[in-house]
A and B are shown apart, each in its own frame.
Chain A
Amino acid sequence: MSGNSEPRKYKNPVLNWIEFRLPIISYFQKEYGEYPMPKNCNYFWSFGALATITLITMIVSGIFLAMNYTPHTEMAFDSVERIMRDVNYGWLLRYIHSNGASFFFIIVFIHIVRAMYYGSYKYPRELNWILGVFIFLLMMATSFLGYTLPWGQMSYWGATVITNLFSAIPIVGEGLKTWLLGDYTVGNATLNRFFALHYVLPFVIFGVVGLHVAAVHVHGSNNPAGIDIRSKNDTVNFFPYMLIKDTIAVCVFGVLISAVIFFGPNLMAEVDNYIPADPLVTPAHIVPNWYLAPFYAILRAVPDKLGGVLLMFGAIAILFVLPWLDTSKVRSCNFRPMYKWFMMLFFVNFFVLGYVGMLPAEGLYLLIARIGLVYYFGFFLIITPFIGWIEKPKALPLSISDVYLGGGKEAPVPVSEKEIH
Chain B
Amino acid sequence: MSEKPDSKRRDFLQLSTISIGAVGTAAFIWPFLKSMNPAEDTLALGTTEVDISLIEEGQSITVKWRGKPVFIRKRTKDEIDEAKTVNIADLKDPEEDINRVKKDEWLVLVGVCTHLGCVPLGQKLTDSKGEYNGWYCPCHGSHYDTSGRIRKGPAPENLAVPPYSFLNDTTIKIG
Q: Which residue numbers of A lie inside 8 Å of B, CB to CB?
A: 157, 160-161, 163-165, 167, 178-180, 182-185, 187, 189, 193, 279-286, 300, 302-306, 308, 361-362
Candidates A163, A179, A180, A286; contact of B118 at CB < 8 Å: A286
- Beyond the given A163-B117, A305-B154, could you list 7 further A-B residue pairs with CB under 8 A, ordered by the A residue number? A160-B118, A182-B36, A184-B66, A185-B66, A185-B117, A283-B138, A300-B140
Beta-carbon contact of A281 and B42 below 8 Å: no
Closest to B68 in A: A185
Cα distance A85–B142 in the bound complex, in angstroms: 40
Please give, as numbers and ranges, the residues of chain A lying within 8 Å of B33 by CB-CB distance.
Answer: 179
Q: Max chain A CB contacts within 10 Å: which of B111, B115, B117, B156?
A: B117
Q: How far is the CB of A275 from chain B (nearest CB, A)?
A: 15
Beta-carbon contact of B38 and A184 below 8 Å: yes
Please give, as numbers and ranges, the residues of chain B lying within 8 Å of A306 by CB-CB distance.
Answer: 156
Q: How far is the CB of A171 from chain B (nearest CB, A)?
A: 14
Please give, as numbers and ranges, the residues of chain B lying within 8 Å of A183 by CB-CB distance.
Answer: 38, 42, 67
Residues of B in contact with A, size category: 20 to 34
Is the CB of B18 closer than 8 A to any CB of chain A?
A: no
Candidates B111, B120, B138, B154; contact of A308 at CB < 8 Å: B154
Cα distance A187–B138 in the bound complex, in angstroms: 22
Beta-carbon contact of B67 and A157 below 8 Å: no
Cα distance A362–B143 in the bound complex, in angstroms: 13
Candidates A161, A165, A182, A185; contact of B139 at CB < 8 Å: A161
Is the CB of B155 closer than 8 A to any CB of chain A?
A: yes
Cα distance A167–B121 in the bound complex, in angstroms: 22
Beta-carbon contact of B119 and A182 below 8 Å: no
Beta-carbon contact of B64 and A280 below 8 Å: yes
Beta-carbon contact of B67 and A182 below 8 Å: no
Please give, as numbers and ranges, the residues of chain B lying within 8 Å of A281 by CB-CB distance.
Answer: 119
Q: How far is the CB of B117 from chain A (nearest CB, A)?
A: 4
Closest to B34 in A: A179
Beta-carbon contact of A161 and B67 below 8 Å: no
Is the CB of B62 closer than 8 A to any CB of chain A?
A: yes
Beta-carbon contact of B117 and A164 below 8 Å: yes
Which residues of B (89-131) have their CB < 8 Å from a CB of A? 111-112, 115-121
Beta-carbon contact of A362 and B37 below 8 Å: no
Is the CB of B21 closer than 8 A to any CB of chain A?
A: no
Cα distance A165–B140 in the bound complex, in angstroms: 13
Beta-carbon contact of A305 and B119 below 8 Å: no
Candidates B62, B121, B156; contact of A305 at CB < 8 Å: B156
Beta-carbon contact of A160 and B154 below 8 Å: no
Closest to A362 in B: B141
16 residue pairs A–B, Cβ–Cβ below 8 Å: A157-B139, A167-B117, A180-B36, A182-B39, A183-B67, A187-B42, A279-B64, A280-B64, A280-B111, A282-B119, A282-B121, A282-B138, A284-B121, A286-B139, A304-B156, A305-B156
A282 and B118 in contact, given A179-B36, A183-B67, A300-B140 (Cβ under 8 angstroms): yes
A280 and B140 in contact, given A157-B118, A184-B38 (Cβ under 8 angstroms): no
Beta-carbon contact of B155 and A305 below 8 Å: yes
Beta-carbon contact of B39 and A161 below 8 Å: no
Closest to A159 in B: B117
B 34-60 to A, binary, CB cutoff 8 A, 1 in contact else 0? 001111001000000000000000000
Q: Max chain B CB contacts within 10 Å: which of A163, A178, A300, A305?
A: A305
Beta-carbon contact of B139 and A282 below 8 Å: yes
Please give, as numbers and ranges, the residues of chain B lying within 8 Å of A193 by CB-CB distance.
Answer: 36
Cα distance A305–B56 in the bound complex, in angstroms: 36
Beta-carbon contact of A280 and B118 below 8 Å: no
Closest to B115 in A: A305
Closest 9 CB pairs of A and B: A164-B117, A185-B67, A164-B116, A282-B118, A282-B119, A161-B116, A160-B117, A280-B69, A184-B66
Closest to A160 in B: B117
Please give, as numbers and ranges, the residues of chain A lying within 8 Å of B67 by CB-CB distance.
Answer: 183-185, 187, 279
Q: How far is the CB of B171 from chain A (nearest CB, A)?
A: 21
Candidates B38, B68, B115, B141; contact of A182 at CB < 8 Å: B38
A361 and B140 in contact, given A164-B117, A189-B38 (Cβ under 8 angstroms): yes
Q: How far is the CB of A163 from chain B (nearest CB, A)?
A: 8
A280 and B62 in contact, given A180-B36, A184-B67, A361-B140 (Cβ under 8 angstroms): yes
Beta-carbon contact of A279 and B69 below 8 Å: yes
Q: How far is the CB of B63 from chain A (nearest CB, A)?
A: 9
Cα distance A332–B65 in the bound complex, in angstroms: 59
A165 and B37 in contact, given A183-B42, A279-B67, A279-B69 (Cβ under 8 angstroms): no
Please give, as numbers and ranges, the residues of chain A lying within 8 Å of B117 by CB-CB distance.
Answer: 160-161, 163-164, 167, 185
Q: How far is the CB of A380 from chain B (nearest CB, A)?
A: 25
Closest to A187 in B: B67
Candidates A160, A178, A182; contact of B116 at CB < 8 Å: A160
Cα distance A361–B37 in the bound complex, in angstroms: 34
